[in-house]
A and B are shown apart, each in its own frame.
Chain A
């Protein structure tokens, strides 16, 4: 269903790459891991917001009704969430590759970083999917999207940044494992919440 809008996917990938290129032109190579982490996650966050904000907009009313007769709301939110997860994970991987190529890669604990990246992008994707569903019901949804989602994403972001800071100074799974666990738990909480609450949104 979403796959039909492939041009959007290419658009997002290009968005990521060009943002990284701009950052590269400004910073060249970053030595400081703190700045590296900040820049990395900010770019990923904004690309993710851009990528998912459209996920409920394109549905016209008629098609909405049609899907409504076909599938239960739970199935729809789960499907959307899974699609967005795949999308953001893909964006995250592309982002990481280009970022390391151009701006440099201070990460020593690559395994830890990658798992943090995966879990983090999944969490970001689920929160954004749910908030996009809320925002699509209102009139001015682009601003609202950011206003609504950033504060609730913060626990996730802070944990993920903690993981990547640990990874950048070379820690492995023993030290970072607890944070990965926290990330996983937050993911589960978000998914369950959207599963329970989405039917109410759908009916509104």
Chain B
């Protein structure tokens, strides 16, 4: 059973979709049924950060070993992470349309996510601007590490300095405090795990395709 985790991902996501839409949720003013977005929107961002973290780890590995395999992993993790980032943006703005009445507002967390996407698009552009493989891998790895640390600074420090409309900030009810009841957590944790496993699966396929192309 080498592929047990793929089956696990499938089962977990099946549970997320069925449970996410059917299991009872607490009724909140304004939020109502849109609270179910917690199972989809939030795990997207967790997954994206997780993938970018792996990417940075592989970039560091690449710098210390010059192994091209590590570079491919780092690149494909970013590619897959961007897909999940875009999905996170889409689910987020649909949710915002129904609760805040607009697709996008000038908010620290929203801007932070947009900037994250910009940084990683820049990473991909940087990669495309060089032909020589070894050099490209090395420079991209350096930029990846630098950018990731700056992002951690950005996401870690700045939102605490400003108020935010986003749940979990500035007096807004956060999902992880009093209104996440047992039913929701029962779906939420499997959902996070399921999405992460799915993303690893996608990344894994991407890496294999990339390696076949190189041959």
A residues apposed to B, CB below 8 Å: 130, 134, 137-140, 144, 147-148, 150-152, 154-155, 158-159, 162, 179, 182, 186, 189-190, 193-194, 197, 200-201, 203-204
Contacts and interface: CB of A to CB of B under 8 A. Distances in A.
A64 to B, nearest CB: 15
Interface string B57-91: 00000010000000000000000000000000000
Given A134-B142, A139-B130, A144-B125, 20 more contacts: A130-B146, A134-B139, A134-B143, A137-B130, A137-B135, A138-B130, A140-B129, A144-B126, A147-B122, A148-B126, A150-B118, A152-B147, A154-B115, A155-B157, A182-B157, A186-B153, A189-B150, A193-B149, A201-B138, A204-B134
A76 to B, nearest CB: 15
Which interface residue of B135, B138, B150 has the most chain A CB atoms within 10 A?
A: B150
Contacts of B191: none
Contacts of A150: 118
A156 to B, nearest CB: 9
Interface string B120-157: 00100110011000110011011101110111011001
A184 B73 CA distance: 34
23 contacts: A130-B146, A134-B143, A137-B135, A138-B130, A139-B130, A144-B125, A148-B122, A151-B115, A155-B153, A155-B154, A155-B158, A162-B161, A186-B153, A189-B153, A190-B150, A193-B146, A194-B146, A197-B142, A200-B63, A200-B142, A204-B134, A204-B135, A204-B139
